[in-house]
Amino acid sequence: MNDQTLFSIFFSAMVVNNFTLAMFLGLCPFMGVSARVETALRMGLANIFVLVLTSLSAWVLNTYILETAPYLRIISFIIVVASLVQIVEMVVKKIAPVLFRQLGIFLPLMTTNCAIFGLAIFQTNRGYDFLQGIVFAIGAGLGLTLALVLMASIRETSELSDIPAIAKGTGLTLIIAGSLSLAFMGFAGLL
Amino acid sequence: MKERPESDAIEVQVVDTLQPDSGDGAPVEEQVSTLRLVATLAVAGALAGLLIVLVNLHTKPIIDEYKAEQLKLAIYEVLPGVSRYRTLYQVDGALSAEVPAGAKATDFRQAYVGYDDAGQMKGVAVSRGESGFQDIVQVIFGFEPDSGVLLGMKVLDSKETPGLGDKIFKDQDFVDQFFARPQTPLAAIKAGSGKGAPGEIDAITGATISSKVVVSIINNGIAEWRPILEKGIPEEAQ
Amino acid sequence: MRTTTPSEDFIRGIWRENPVLIQMLGLCPALAVTNTVKNALAMSAATFFVLCCSSVLISSVKRFIPKEVRISSYILVIATFVTLADMMLQAYAPVQHKELGAFIALIVVNCMILGRQEAFSSRNTVYRSLLDAVGTGIGFTIALIMMGGFREILGIGTFFDIPLFGPNFEPWVVMVLPAGGFLTLGFIILAMGVFEERKKAREAHGEAP
């Protein structure tokens, strides 16, 4: 049971406690596919889609099945996430082959994406109901997309800059992420 | 030094004996039936479930006991002088000692009514959370339902900024104000600017939002619970 | 795979292929729970336990797992041990469990653990898989304690809760906040880059004449 208003959940998940920049979830795509704005945007949209589905299935699982056995939560959530990603992949391939070609490579990556599994765990720990869960998922997904796109645009812009050889790659990406995270701290206290 | 080459030798042997095995296994694997796949996962799942249930049987009593103990300590802290408490549930806007049959206790708001040694009701403790600077701040506080006097406050959970917002539970001067029996509703004021009115709480410099959240949680909590408590507290079953 | 000796299996994960600092795996826990050395240590211990148990179990039953369902089986095994670690921490170290919160459950999706199963345990003996797991686990622990140490000393002014500086020390609060995690790891990696560069330059210089 949780009394938070939907707006507060949405806003908190999107910027104040941004999944990537404040909670370090979904770092793999953040470091890996943030070189181009366009791919980053697609990855983000694919994430929103899977996050909402995860939130839905985690809620169903938690309300109707795991009520008597909460200790099986981790194991059932990971199985659901893993199968969900595969099912989504198959369905998208069948129904919308164009979309599949655009999202294709990103979907399988999501099985071990902490953001997806983290969403299910946080949603349960905080006791969100059905609607709160969906709003939480959309907020978290938009937050991930925002972080990815910001990161990608900074990296695109700095591509032609004269950067010392040792700073190229991960080190620089992490420091940019740190600066973004600092900037996002400014959102704290808005709620 | 003598041991290392020895273990290396053993290692090579083990790997060698395994080699033909996995070599034989490879062609078999190609014609693995769906049944075998499902069976493997089912067996693995069943074993995993069994193991978890067994460990859970062992750890659950320890975890539950710890949680109950922490709750008891928190209630005794925010209701000074209390030696015993009982848990009541808010059911349809009134207090009840039992939740309706078939419902989960955690679905209802809970109030903890504290008694002293003489069996006199000393106050009521409730827990409540609101959005703070960073995330939800969860606070448990005790008050006298008749007079509205605050008895004590303890922050159960918060992610407020270390060094600033976390003073709401680390700054003893701030916390002590809530144990000085202030009259509610409380008002957060700038430190030192008090006019002696009841219910003034000096806010922490640099943690205005966090200080206000604690005050707001207590005011809103008491406003919510007092009408319910006025309807009467169910008698204890003997 | 058979070109490495057991001692190499062990050493490899500690430094040359350090999971966090070199391979960039398991970043989520490395950044999220390293604001103090204590938290870093608790996280490392839980991860170490899961990694070793999974490696031993998977390398001993690898022959019974059909190739098609291997990833699912690995995830199942890892999830089981994570649940066990979660329950045991909650029962015997409740304070630490509260500090780490949901990040214990998130060990399941630590790519490092699944990666070791797929890359090593599924095709090596129990003994060597254990060595590999212990090495990788130690490497992970070193990285986390390094992060936790930097962040706690700068951000709180203590090491393992022991105050290091006088009362006039003004903590650099941002280091224990999320931004500090990114910056600390970024600077550690930059520093390693500098060392690597110098080493290369020295080698090139030595070979040239």
Alpha-carbon span A35 to A32, nearest angstrom: 8
Q: Closest chain B residue to C65 measured between Cα atoms? A: B40
pLDDT of residue A103 exceeding 70, the answer is no
Can you tell me which residue has the tokens 């740190």?
A: A178
Residue B7's pLDDT is 37
Q: Which residue of A has its CA nearest to C192?
A: A166
Distance CA B37, CA B26 (A): 15
Please say whether the beta carbons of A11 and A139 come within 8 A: yes
pLDDT per residue as tens digits for the range B183-224: 888 888 888 777 777 888 898 888 888 899 999 999 999 998
Q: pLDDT of B135-149, one tens digit each?
A: 888 999 999 988 889
Residue C144 lies in a domain: yes
CA–CA dist B174, B177 (Å, integer) = 6
Closest CA to C188 of C22, C9, C64: C22
Average pLDDT, chain B: 81
Assess contact for B129 and B136: CB atoms under 8 A.
yes
Tokens of B177: 């104000």
* C-alpha distance across the termini of chain B, in Å: 76
pLDDT (tens digit, 9 = 90+) per residue, A78-94?
A: 888 888 888 888 887 88
The interaxial angle of helices C126-155 and C37-61, nearest 10 deg, is 170
Cβ pairs B/C, distance under 8 A: 82
Determine whether the interchain pair A71/C83 forms a contact, defined as Cβ–Cβ distance below 8 Å: yes
Chain C contacts of A177, Cβ < 8 Å? 182, 186
- How far apart CA C209 and CA B200 sit, in angstroms, is 80
CB atoms within 10 A of CB B42: 10
**pLDDT for residue A169 is more than 50:** yes
pTM, rounded to two decimals? 0.84
- Torsion angle (degrees, nearest 10) of CA B1, B2, B3, B4: 60
B200-202 vs B136-143, strand pairing mode: unpaired
* ipTM confidence score: 0.86
> In this structure, what token pair is assigned to residue A115?
């953001």
Asked if pLDDT for residue B21 goes beyond 70, the answer is: no
Gap between the Cα atoms of B54 and B42, Å rounded: 18
Could you tell me which chain C residue has the CA closest to the CA of A77?
C79
User: What's the pLDDT score for residue A112?
Assistant: 60
Q: Using a CB-CB distance cutoff of 8 angstroms, which residues of chain B are in contact with residue C128?
A: 11
**Cβ distance B144 to B151 under 8 Å?**
yes
Q: How far is CA A83 from CA A50, A137, B33, C36, in A?
A: 12, 18, 20, 36
Q: Do A71 and B53 touch (CB under 8 A)?
A: yes
Can you tell me the distance from the alpha carbon of C85 to that of C83, in angstroms, rounded to the nearest whole number?
5
- Domain count within chain C: 1
Decide which of B104 and A103 is more confident.
B104
User: Which residues in chain C have their CB less than 8 angstroms from residue B161's CB?
Assistant: 173, 177
Give the lowest-confidence range in A87-91, A99-103, B59-63. A99-103
The greatest distance separating any two alpha carbons of chain A, rounded to the nearest whole angstrom, comes to: 59
Q: Are strands B200-202 and B187-189 parallel, antiparallel or unpaired?
A: parallel
Mean pLDDT value across residues C198-209: 76
Residue in C155, C159, C199, C158 with CA at minimum distance from that of residue C177? C155
Say whether residue C102 is in contact with chain B using an 8 A CB cutoff. no
| Predicted confidence band of residue B237 (pLDDT cuts 50, 70, 90) | low
For residue A174, give the chain C residue with the closest CA: C186
Please tell me whether the peptide bond between B145 and the residue prior to it is cis, using omega within 30 degrees of 0.
no
Closest CB to A189: pick one of B107, B129, B209: B209
Q: Is the pLDDT of residue A132 over 70?
A: yes
Dist CA A57 CA B98 (whole Å)? 32
Q: Which tens digits make up the pLDDT trace of C127-161?
A: 999 999 999 999 999 999 999 999 999 988 888 88
Can you read off the two tokens belonging to residue B127? 């827990």
Which pLDDT tens digit goes with each residue over B66-125? Answer: 999 999 999 999 999 888 898 988 888 888 888 887 777 777 888 999 998 888 888 999
Cα-based torsion angle of the residue sequence A72, B159, B85, B222 in order, rounded to the nearest 10 degrees: -120
Partner-chain residue, chosen from A8, A71, A72, that has the shortest CB–CB distance to B131:
A8
A163 touches chain C (CB under 8 A): no
The type of residue at B88 is L
Least Cα separation, residue A84 to chain C (angstroms): 13
The one-letter amino acid at A109: L
pLDDT of residue B24: 41
- Domain membership flag for residue C39: yes
* Domain boundaries defined on chain A: 6-185
SS (H, E, C) chain B: CCHHHHHHHHHHHHHHHHHHHHHHHHHHHHCCCHHHHHHHHHHHHHHHHHHHHHHHHHHHHHHHHHHHHHHHHHHHHHCCCCCEEEEEEEECCEEECCCCCCCCHHHCCEEEEEECCCCCEEEEEEEEEEECCCCEEEEEEEECCCCCEEEEEEEEECCCCCCCCCHHHHCHHHHHHCCCCCECCCEEECCCCCCCCCCEEECCCCCHHHHHHHHHHHHHHHHHHHHHHHCCCCCCCC
In a domain, C194, yes or no: no
The whole-number average pLDDT for the span A168-177 is 86
Domain membership flag for residue C90? yes
- Do A181 and C182 make contact, defined as CB atoms within 8 angstroms? yes
Residue C192 lies in a domain: no
CB B213 within 8 A of CB B131: yes
Q: How far apart are CA B139 and CA B178, in angstroms?
A: 12
Residue C189, domain member (yes or no): no
Residues contacting A13, CB < 8 A, separation 6+: A19, A136, A139, A140, A143
Q: Has residue A146 got a pLDDT over 90?
A: yes
